[in-house]
Structures are given as structure tokens and as C-alpha cells.
């Protein structure tokens, strides 16, 4: 009987193995090369888009993804975006276990439904239906299907056959069937070295990709979308919210947006117009007038990220924003533009892809109404000098400062004459400067008493100005985290000044720290670098795959006076150091002012730029050396 039971179990296991190996939804059928470096595998990614007329776009989508581990849950992506013009006809999902056996099903009503809003999105009418699923075991597979219909044909989803780091693609197909009167234009990006086949014909756009292996993320590499394969697609003739138009180039598109979506939306009440004129009365300089208007907008409006306008890309009229005193990026930018017009300053509504992590430009040679921008800023053109750019959603940002959110990238400037591609402000290495001046005293018990003034500009200003709004308690937490290598910090003074006129952030800090120094017999050892120590070392990679990219350079200058205890003398000092290479330079020097006072001077510069992957180890070694030198110690010995 026991032998029979064992035989039955083995037979059942063998049957399950055979079924699972033959079942496409089983994770056991995934090729080993697609599991390497992967947290998820995209088994099927099918888009079929039908554009039968200028007012009809249908999108059928099927996605089958196997989630290999907990980190892979980020790639579930069972979601569909919609608005009042996009109808979700079909929406469902099925969950399969490791062996490809169905364990759960979800219908349309099971999906969560929320506003698809972030802090800067250009398209703020969207909602999203998404699947919220908590797995019990790994791996598991999700089949997700939706079908949508819309009369708006201005936006066609792009194709990205590789979705990100740590996910591979087994099969991805993308097909558009379109009427010849619509016309389709495309741009292929980063297709080399990827298994992609183009089977397009007249009226049919058809691409297929297979067996794309997963990539590991690497420190200091270009952002994924800069090198990942993608296909940009745009209609030539389109309908958008019953506006029809044609996209030939950025100039033609800008003219259409100005004439159809922006025209007639910059009037405000006579009361507001008179108030603005009174504020600038007697001021001849147009930039000074613009500064007053910008401050007025900051002081009298607030940013919100939820609004309903035409299709999400047409701003609310300026008079409506003036009444309610709030707006999204479109509304506040258009409102600022309207007020600047009153004081005789010309400005232009500008679309941009805003992100802090990288600097993503719009495609110079590929105009599209939607899909390339997610935010709006304002351009004030200048003759014979750099243009001025305004971030109209911030109540704290200085006039003419845009920071790392929209810096150094190509943007779409919309003028009455047409659209233009312009480049926003690039903050140079020297502009991204932090200067620290201060002094600290080493006491006999090993504690220190420090005071310093830290002045930050450029992107280093951008990194800090937001702490102006922190509470005293939160500020204390912030500084203790910033100097987490110093124990037992007690702050006596934390004074911060956001100087918007000169665009610099000034921190005046005083603190004490017990046990900072190490006392060994008659000796005291202490680290010379107190408040600007480099603690970061880039990760090591045995086989670097991606190039090295530094998006923004910086320069740190430190000048610190060190007061020694009276009954100790110097036993040893670190030697003067000067390192210079393609990535930047580092130097420090300690000079003796007198028996009890030392002067510490340090500079650390990192240049922006892109370098081949072979340079990464040298760059990492540069940081390792800086880290070691920043931990240099001074040795004191007690006087006899």
C-alpha cells in the first residue's frame, strides 16, 4: 500500500511537471538567459492600435509578466489610463502560479480607480484603473488585458520593448493599422544590438522584439530611457477634443497650439490689471517689473495638481486663476504670462520634460502634440544674453532659477509665430558651488566646539533651499542625518537665510560634539574634516556594462581654522595633497598659523560629462581616495 501511494505521488508530480513545462504561463518555461539579472520577465507585450479615421482610435493590449521575486512586483503594471474621452471597454487580469495553474481572476470592477496625478504632470485630467495584488508565493504570472476607445487621435502610445532595469522581454509586438488619410511618422531610437524586426507595410506599422535580456542598474550611468530601445510614433493629421490639426514640425505645431489652445486666455479683471500696473509704477527696467510680477504670483496663488481642463493640456483662462487664486502648472504659467503682458514683458508658454534625475530633452527632429512633455514653465526671451526661465508653480523658488527640475535640456517654446526648440539654463561646475568658512576648537576631553557659515549656489542651492520651511525639530533631524559621521551633536545655533536676490542659501551653524577626538594616553587624534566629509564611494562592478555619466558637476571650497588645546602640541599632520584628473580635482593643505592654530583649506571638484565604461574604475578610485583623505587625522601630544 505504501509503495502504491508513493507511486501515485510520483505520478502526480511527473504529470504536474509535464503540464507545467508545456504550459506557457508556467515560470518553468522561461529560458535561463532571460532570468539572469531579472526580477521579472515580460512574456507577452502586445499592442494593437487601430486608427480607422481622424476621430477613432482603438487600443487592444495584452500583457503577460512573470514576477520572479518581491522586487519584481514593481513590474506588475496592470493599469490603464483614461479620461472623459477615453472609454475602457475591457479590463481583466488572471493570476497563475509557478506551474501555470490559474489561482485568481479579476474583472473590471475589481480594479482600483484613482486620479492619475503627480506633482508636475502636464496631463492632469487622467485617471487610472490599476490592479492591487499581494502575492502569496513567488514566482507568479499575471495576464492583463484591456481595450480602450477614443475620438482623440493626437496621442499614440510609444513602444518600449524593454521596460527598465532588472526585467527581460521574451516577446513584444507593436502594430498600428491606420487609414492613409491620417498618416503616421516614427522615430526609431537605440535599435542597434537588439533583436527587433520591422514588418511594416502601407497602412500597417508592425514591429516585433524577442529575447531581450535584463540589464543591471549601475551607479553613475545614463538614465535608462537614454539608451533603451524605443519607437516614437505620432499622427500627422489628428483630432483633439474636436480640434483638428496637422503635425509637420515644431514650428507648425507651436502655431497650432498658440492659435487653438492658448489664444484669448490671458485676460484678467480690470481691478487686477490696475493693481499690477500700480505695483510697477515708476520702474523702467523690464526685468525688475517681471520680478515684481513673479513675486505677486508667488504671494497670491498656490499650486494644486488636480484640475479639469480641455484634455489636460489647455490651461485654465487667466481670469479664472485670478479668481480662485490657485492653479496647476498650465494655469499658473499662463496666469504669469498674462500679468507680464500687462507690464510690457513678453513671455512664452513652454513645454518641458521635467525630472530631477536626468536631463531629458524633447526630440528636435520629431514633433508630437503629446507624449514628450510633462510640465510647463515660462520663457522670457533676452537679446544678446541668456533667456530667463520661470518655474511658476513654486512659492519659494527665486526669480530666474529653475534648478535641477528643468535645467540643461531642449524644450518646446510656443510663440504667436510658431514653436521653437530652445535649451534651458545649464548650471556649470563652478556655479554649483558650496563655500564653507568656519572654525572649531578641540578641547582636552576630546569634544569639539564648532561654528561655520556655509554658502551654497547653483544646484547646491537647489539641494538645500527647501529646508527653509522645516520646523526646528525637523531641521535638527536633517542636520544630524547630514553629519551622521559625528556623534553626540548638540546644536547651539541653526540659522538659515534664503537669499533669493543673489540666489544663495546661507547656513550659520554652531554645535558641540562630545567624544569627537580619540584620546590614547598622552595623545589626541581627531579628524580634520568636520562638516564636509565625503562618505560616498560608487559601487564596484566586475564587468561594467554602461558608460559613466555625471549629469551635474560641483565645486566645494572649505576654509576652516582649527584651535588646539593649550596644553597639547602637534605631533603629526597630514601632508599636502593635490589630485587632478579628467573627472575633476581634489586638494587639501594644513598650514600652521601658530602653536595653537591651524588653517585647513580643501577643494573638491567633480566635472559633469560622459565617459566610456572603461573609465569607471578610475572614477571610483578617485572617490575612494577622496574618502580616505577626508578621513585624515591630526595627532597631538601633551606638552611636558
Instruction: Mention every residue, 6+ apart, whose C-beta is less than 8 A from residue 502.
Output: none
Instruction: Mention every residue, 6+ apart, whose C-beta is less than 8 A from residue 543.
Output: none
Confirm if 92 and 107 have CB atoms less than 8 A apart.
yes
Q: For the chain, list the domains and their CATH numbers.
A: 22-240 (2.60.40.3140), 247-423 (3.10.620.30), 433-638 (no CATH)
Confidence of residue 84 (pLDDT cuts 50, 70, 90): confident
Confirm if 309 and 315 have CB atoms less than 8 A apart.
yes
Residue 1 predicted with pLDDT over 90: no
**Residue reference for cell 531581450:** 212
pTM, two decimals, is: 0.91
CA 565 vs CA 305, 356, 510, 515, 531: distances in Å: 57, 45, 19, 15, 20
* Residue 611 β-bridge partners: 548
Residue 311 confidence (pLDDT): 55
Confirm if 446 and 517 have CB atoms less than 8 A apart.
yes
Residue 532 predicted with pLDDT over 50: yes
Cα–Cα distance measured from residue 453 to residue 422, given in angstroms and rounded to the nearest whole number: 37
Residue of 105, 116, 607, 7 whose CA lies nearest to 374:
116
Q: Are strands 40-53 and 167-178 parallel, antiparallel or unpaired?
A: parallel
CA 309 vs CA 82, 292, 320, 377, 383: distances in Å: 14, 28, 12, 18, 34
C-alpha torsion 454→459→463→469, nearest 10: 80
Intra-chain end-to-end CA distance of the chain, in Å: 93
Cα–Cα distance measured from residue 531 to residue 534, given in angstroms and rounded to the nearest whole number: 9
Confirm if 494 and 500 have CB atoms less than 8 A apart.
no
CB atoms within 10 A of CB 540: 11
Mean pLDDT within 108-124: 75
CA 519 vs CA 286, 443, 514: distances in Å: 62, 11, 12
Residue 253 predicted with pLDDT over 50: yes
Residue 442 confidence (pLDDT): 97
Summarised one tens digit per residue, pLDDT across range 300-344 is 999 887 555 555 788 999 999 999 999 999 999 999 999 999 999
Alpha helices for 127-249 (secondary structure H) = 224-227
CA angle 392, 395, 399 (to 5 degrees): 60
- Higher pLDDT pick, 228 / 125: 228
Confidence of residue 122 (pLDDT cuts 50, 70, 90): low
Contacts of 589-593 with CB under 8 Å at 24 or more apart are 590/528, 590/634, 593/561
Residue 309 confidence (pLDDT): 53
Confirm if 373 and 353 have CB atoms less than 8 A apart.
yes
Q: Are strands 433-442 and 554-563 parallel, antiparallel or unpaired?
A: parallel
CA 95 vs CA 79, 111, 468, 595: distances in Å: 15, 14, 48, 75
State the number of CA atoms in the 13 A half-sphere of 208 facing the CB.
8
* Residue 86 β-bridge partners: 150
Confidence of residue 613 (pLDDT cuts 50, 70, 90): very high
Cα–Cα distance measured from residue 310 to residue 361, given in angstroms and rounded to the nearest whole number: 25
Cα–Cα distance measured from residue 370 to residue 257, given in angstroms and rounded to the nearest whole number: 12
CB atoms within 10 A of CB 344: 11
Cα–Cα distance measured from residue 157 to residue 367, given in angstroms and rounded to the nearest whole number: 15
Q: What is the DSSP letter of 614?
A: G
CA 167 vs CA 8, 65, 163, 367: distances in Å: 38, 10, 7, 30
Instruction: Mention every residue, 6+ apart, whose C-beta is less than 8 A from residue 336.
Output: 293, 294, 297, 347, 378, 390, 392
Q: What DSSP line would sit under 356-367, residue for residue?
A: SSS-PPPPTT--
Distance between alpha carbon 305 and the CA centroid of its chain, in Å?
17
Of how many residues is the chain composed?
640
* Phi, psi angle pair for 258, to nearest 5°: -60, -45
Mean pLDDT within 410-435: 98
C-alpha cell at 241: 477634443
Q: What is the DSSP letter of 124?
A: T
Mean pLDDT within 342-355: 97
Confidence of residue 127 (pLDDT cuts 50, 70, 90): confident
pLDDT, averaged across the chain:
93
* Residue 527: burial class (beta carbons within 10 Å; 0-12, 13-18, 19+): middle
C-alpha cell at 189: 531610437
C-alpha cell at 154: 493626437
Confirm if 224 and 544 have CB atoms less than 8 A apart.
no
Summarised one tens digit per residue, pLDDT across range 15-56 is 333 344 457 899 999 999 999 999 999 999 999 999 999 999
* Residue 576: burial class (beta carbons within 10 Å; 0-12, 13-18, 19+): exposed
Confidence of residue 3 (pLDDT cuts 50, 70, 90): very low
Share of residues in the chain with pLDDT > 70 (%): 94
Confirm if 370 and 235 have CB atoms less than 8 A apart.
no
* Residue 367: burial class (beta carbons within 10 Å; 0-12, 13-18, 19+): buried
Residue of 357, 362, 154 whose CA lies nearest to 260:
154
Summarised one tens digit per residue, pLDDT across range 187-229 is 999 999 899 999 999 999 999 999 999 999 999 999 999 999 9
Amino acid at each position: 500500500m505504501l509503495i502504491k501511494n508513493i507511486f501515485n505521488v510520483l505520478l502526480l508530480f511527473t504529470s504536474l511537471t509535464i503540464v507545467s513545462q508545456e504550459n506557457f504561463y508556467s515560470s518553468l518555461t522561461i529560458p535561463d538567459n532571460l532570468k539572469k539579472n531579472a526580477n521579472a520577465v515580460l512574456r507577452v507585450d502586445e499592442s494593437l492600435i487601430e486608427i480607422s479615421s481622424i476621430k477613432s482610435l482603438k487600443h487592444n493590449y495584452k500583457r503577460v509578466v512573470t514576477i520572479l521575486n518581491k522586487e519584481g512586483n514593481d513590474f506588475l503594471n496592470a493599469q490603464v489610463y483614461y479620461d472623459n474621452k477615453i472609454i475602457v471597454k475591457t479590463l481583466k487580469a488572471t493570476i497563475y502560479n509557478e506551474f501555470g495553474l490559474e489561482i485568481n481572476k479579476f474583472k473590471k470592477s475589481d480594479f482600483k480607480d484613482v486620479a492619475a496625478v503627480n506633482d508636475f504632470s502636464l496631463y492632469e485630467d487622467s485617471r487610472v484603473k490599476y490592479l492591487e495584488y499581494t502575492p502569496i508565493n513567488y514566482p507568479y504570472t499575471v495576464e492583463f488585458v484591456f481595450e480602450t476607445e477614443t475620438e482623440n487621435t493626437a496621442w499614440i502610445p510609444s513602444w518600449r520593448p524593454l521596460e527598465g532595469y532588472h526585467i527581460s522581454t521574451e516577446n513584444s509586438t507593436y502594430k498600428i493599422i491606420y487609414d492613409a488619410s491620417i498618416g503616421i511618422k516614427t522615430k526609431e531610437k537605440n535599435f542597434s544590438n537588439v533583436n527587433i524586426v520591422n514588418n511594416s507595410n502601407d497602412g500597417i506599422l508592425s514591429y516585433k522584439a524577442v529575447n531581450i535580456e535584463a540589464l543591471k542598474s549601475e551607479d553613475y550611468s545614463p538614465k535608462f530611457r537614454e539608451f533603451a530601445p524605443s519607437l516614437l510614433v505620432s499622427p500627422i493629421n489628428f483630432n483633439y477634443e474636436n480640434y483638428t490639426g496637422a503635425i509637420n514640425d515644431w514650428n507648425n505645431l507651436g502655431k497650432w497650439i498658440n492659435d487653438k489652445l492658448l489664444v484669448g486666455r490671458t485676460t484678467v479683471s480690470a481691478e487686477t490689471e490696475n493693481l499690477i500696473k500700480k505695483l510697477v509704477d515708476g520702474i523702467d527696467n523690464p526685468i525688475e517689473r517681471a520680478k515684481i510680477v513673479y513675486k505677486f504670483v508667488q504671494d497670491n496663488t498656490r499650486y494644486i495638481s488636480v484640475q479639469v481642463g480641455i484634455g489636460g493640456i489647455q490651461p485654465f483662462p487667466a481670469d479664472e486663476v485670478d479668481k480662485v487664486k490657485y492653479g496647476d502648472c498650465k494655469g499658473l504659467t499662463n496666469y504669469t504670462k498674462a500679468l507680464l503682458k500687462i507690464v510690457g514683458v513678453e513671455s512664452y508658454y513652454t513645454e518641458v520634460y521635467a525630472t530631477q534625475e536626468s536631463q531629458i530633452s524633447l526630440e528636435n527632429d520629431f514633433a508630437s502634440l503629446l507624449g514628450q512633455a510633462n510640465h510647463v514653465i515660462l520663457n522670457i526671451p533676452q537679446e544678446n544674453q541668456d533667456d530667463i526661465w520661470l518655474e511658476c508653480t513654486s512659492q519659494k523658488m527665486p526669480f530666474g532659477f529653475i534648478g535641477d527640475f528643468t535645467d540643461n535640456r531642449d524644450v518646446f517654446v510656443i510663440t504667436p509665430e510658431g514653436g521653437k526648440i530652445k535649451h534651458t539654463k545649464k548650471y556649470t561646475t563652478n556655479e554649483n558651488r558650496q563655500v564653507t568658512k568656519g572654525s572649531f576648537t578641540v578641547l582636552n576631553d576630546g569634544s569639539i566646539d564648532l561654528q561655520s557659515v556655509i554658502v551654497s549656489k547653483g544646484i547646491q542651492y537647489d539641494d538645500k533651499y527647501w529646508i527653509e520651511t522645516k520646523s526646528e525639530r525637523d531641521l535638527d533631524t536633517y542636520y544630524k542625518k547630514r553629519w551622521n559621521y559625528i556623534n553626540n551633536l548638540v546644536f547651539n545655533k541653526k540659522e538659515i537665510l534664503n537669499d533669493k536676490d543673489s540666489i544663495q542659501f546661507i547656513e550659520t551653524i554652531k554645535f558641540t560634539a562630545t567624544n569627537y577626538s580619540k584620546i590614547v594616553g598622552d595623545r589626541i587624534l581627531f579628524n580634520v574634516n568636520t562638516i564636509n566629509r565625503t562618505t560616498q564611494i560608487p559601487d564596484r562592478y566586475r564587468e561594467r556594462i554602461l558608460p559613466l555619466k555625471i549629469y551635474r558637476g560641483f565645486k566645494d571650497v572649505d576654509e576652516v581654522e582649527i584651535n588646539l588645546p593649550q596644553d597639547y602640541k602637534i605631533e603629526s599632520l597630514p601632508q599636502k595633497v593635490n589630485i587632478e584628473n579628467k573627472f575633476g580635482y581634489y586638494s587639501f593643505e594644513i598650514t600652521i598659523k601658530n602653536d595653537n592654530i591651524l588653517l585647513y583649506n580643501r577643494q573638491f571638484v567633480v566635472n559633469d560629462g560622459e565617459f566610456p565604461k572603461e573609465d569607471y574604475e578610475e572614477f571610483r578610485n578617485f572617490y575612494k581616495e577622496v574618502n580616505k583623505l577626508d578621513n585624515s587625522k591630526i595627532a597631538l601630544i601633551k606638552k611636558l
